[in-house]
Amino acid sequence: MNILMVASECVPFVKVGGLADVVGTLPKYLKRLGHDVRIILPKYRSIDGKKYDLQPLPYILKVSVGKDIEKFRIKRGVTEDGINVYFIENMRYFNRPGIYGDGNSDYGDNRERYIFFCKAAIEAAKALMFRPDIIHCHDWQTGLIPAYLKTNLKNDGFFWNTSSIFTVHNIAYQGQFGADTVAAAGFSWEDFTTDKLEFHNNVNFMKCGIGMSDAVSTVSPTYALEIKEFNGMGMEIVLNSRTDRIYGILNGIDYDYWNPKTDSCIPANYSKDNLAGKKICKAELQKMCGFDEDEDAYLLGCVSRLDNQKGFDIIIDALYGLRDKKMQFVILGSGDQFIKLQIQQAVSKMPKTVAAFFEYNEPLAHKIYGGCDAYMMPSRFEPCGLSQIIALAYGTIPIVNRTGGLSDTITYYNHFTKEGNGFMFNITYGENFVQTILKSEKIFRDKKNWDALTQNAMNCVFSWDKSVEAYHKMYEDAANKKRHELLFRV
Ligand code: ADP
């Protein structure tokens, strides 16, 4: 199949969260199944054209956004796995310091930026003569593409055979704008109906993606159920109207990249058969944080966007609640300024046991995954979560809230049967993170059990091999349904 991935993030070029990991990894596995996969991304300023050897293609294309005509160029790069990536270059929308905002708030013209991107991706496919069987769109930034295919482009021969797939990575970010978006995006007012573009008298990009694509997926089976039932942030009815076309496919991680045996960012390599290096990683991390280099101190970490979703209120309470214990905490994150302030206060009050780094820092993230004993992830909701899976690969034990993908990947360690790979609590049932950390600490101080738990964690494999089969099946289902619809239409 010809598969066109359209997304606003993709590793190694640009990453804000887990979306980038998925878009950067899934194509490599689809390629192994024999598909021709191409990726379209915005050319943000932060993407280093020289480093990635991006080559301009000989077209100057244009699309309309409201009354403006926007020109753009396409630059082509190739990933290490030989996948073509096409970057949409437009100075007005993408040549700025941030990805979605300036660090304090979202850019005020995000609507125009991603209308432009959706239209440009469609024009780019045509210019490249890449006729996709599948256009796979990710999150709200690309939600208008399925809508264009079902409206303005429904009689366009180029996309006659194209099915659209929309993947929800996080339903909390929906891209909802006023009704005047119909005109700004160049739709017809006839399509401003509840079964198409309209959502409570607005245009909601995510609703367009969910409601008008040929199949919808989200990133874990449990999250797929949750968003239909109670966690859909207003999308429940739309999702339930499409229930036969919703797939919950668990993300994997790239074990070639997240591998403590070969990782060049950590001070010493290790594997489940020889964990000596992990002790060195712990000592180095303690030193870097200004903590005592004490093997017996229980070291807990967190690498995350600073966002309420991630349960930072719960983490901050735990920092204070556990201040008298032999524990140390390290946080790496960027995002919400209020959360940052609260963490800074905790650091200033407990500098010998709490450390924080407020930046996006990939090598430091590796050091934290490698050096910690346990990983804190009390997310209030979590579509899939990659951090806990990465932590498992590094033998760092996740302590999580039972929600979404965390339920699908973490099982409570049972010290009788020695089964399980982490610790869980359930916010909904009033269970307590601090108590769960204390229970995990008991196991930490019981070497035999901790060793068994570490082995269980490192034996877990959430690889793409299995998930890619599920994506492949979803593509085939969507293509078959499309064929059926075409027959019916003729
Ligand atoms: P989300 O997509 O909601 O942000 P995930 O757990 O799915 O959460 O993915 C987060 C990814 O981003 C992980 O790979 C994590 O290591 C990485 N990450 C988050 N914040 C940072 C940071 N400040 N520095 C480096 N990596 C980060």
Ligand 1 binding pocket includes 354 (Cβ within 6 Å): no
pLDDT of residue 104: 81
Lowest-confidence pick of 71-75, 86-90, 103-107, 401-405: 103-107
Q: What is the 478 CA–ligand 1 centroid distance (Å)?
A: 31
Q: Find residue 204's DSSP bridge partners.
A: 176
What are the Cα distances from residue 401, in Å, to 57, 91, 104, 379?
Answer: 47, 42, 28, 6
Which amino acid is residue 485, in one-letter code?
A: E
Contacts of 100 (CB under 8 A, 6+ apart): 8, 16, 106, 107, 110
pLDDT of residue 483: 86
pLDDT of residue 184: 98
Nearest CA to ligand 1 atom 26: 362
Burial track 406-415 (b if 16+ CB lie within 10 A, e otherwise)? bbbbbeebeb
Task: State the Cα angle at 26 between 79 and 9, rounded to 5°.
Answer: 65
Contacts of 254 (CB under 8 A, 6+ apart): 21, 24, 25, 28, 464
pLDDT of residue 360: 92
Q: What is the pLDDT of residues 308-354, one digit of tens each?
A: 999 999 999 999 999 999 999 999 999 999 999 999 999 999 999 99
Q: What is the pLDDT of residues 236-246, one digit of tens each?
A: 999 999 998 99
Tokens encoding 131: 């006729």
Ligand 1 binding pocket includes 386 (Cβ within 6 Å): yes
Ligand 1 binding pocket includes 251 (Cβ within 6 Å): no
Ligand 1 binding pocket includes 383 (Cβ within 6 Å): no
Q: What is the pLDDT of residues 379-430, one digit of tens each?
A: 999 999 999 999 999 999 999 999 999 999 999 999 999 999 999 999 988 8
Ligand 1 binding pocket includes 361 (Cβ within 6 Å): yes
pLDDT of residue 485: 83
Ligand 1 binding pocket includes 303 (Cβ within 6 Å): yes
Pocket test for ligand 1, best of 305, 360, 394 (most atoms within 8 A of CB): 305
SS (H, E, C) 309-333: HHCHHHHHHHHHHCCCCCEEEEEEE
Q: What is the 308 CA–ligand 1 centroid distance (Å)?
A: 14
Rounded to whole angstroms, how far apart are CA atoms 403 and 382? 6
What are the Cα distances from residue 157, in Å, to 47, 131, 160?
Answer: 34, 10, 5
Q: Find residue 412's DSSP bridge partners.
A: 422
Nearest CA to ligand 1 atom 2: 18
**pLDDT grade for 89, boundaries at 50, 70 and 90:** very high
Q: What is the pLDDT of residues 6-56, one digit of tens each?
A: 999 999 999 998 899 999 999 999 999 999 999 999 999 999 999 999 999
Ligand 1 binding pocket includes 385 (Cβ within 6 Å): yes
Q: What is the pLDDT of residues 277-315, one digit of tens each?
A: 999 999 999 999 999 999 999 999 999 999 999 999 999
pLDDT of residue 238: 96
CB atoms within 10 A of CB 130: 17
Ligand 1: which atom is nearest the Cα of residue 377?
Answer: 6
pLDDT of residue 490: 58
Compute the mean pLDDT over every residue in the chain, rounded to the nearest whole number.
96
Are 67 and 130 spatial neighbours (Cβ–Cβ below 8 Å)?
no
What average pLDDT does range 461-465 have in this prediction? 93
Ligand 1 binding pocket includes 368 (Cβ within 6 Å): no
**pLDDT grade for 454, boundaries at 50, 70 and 90:** very high
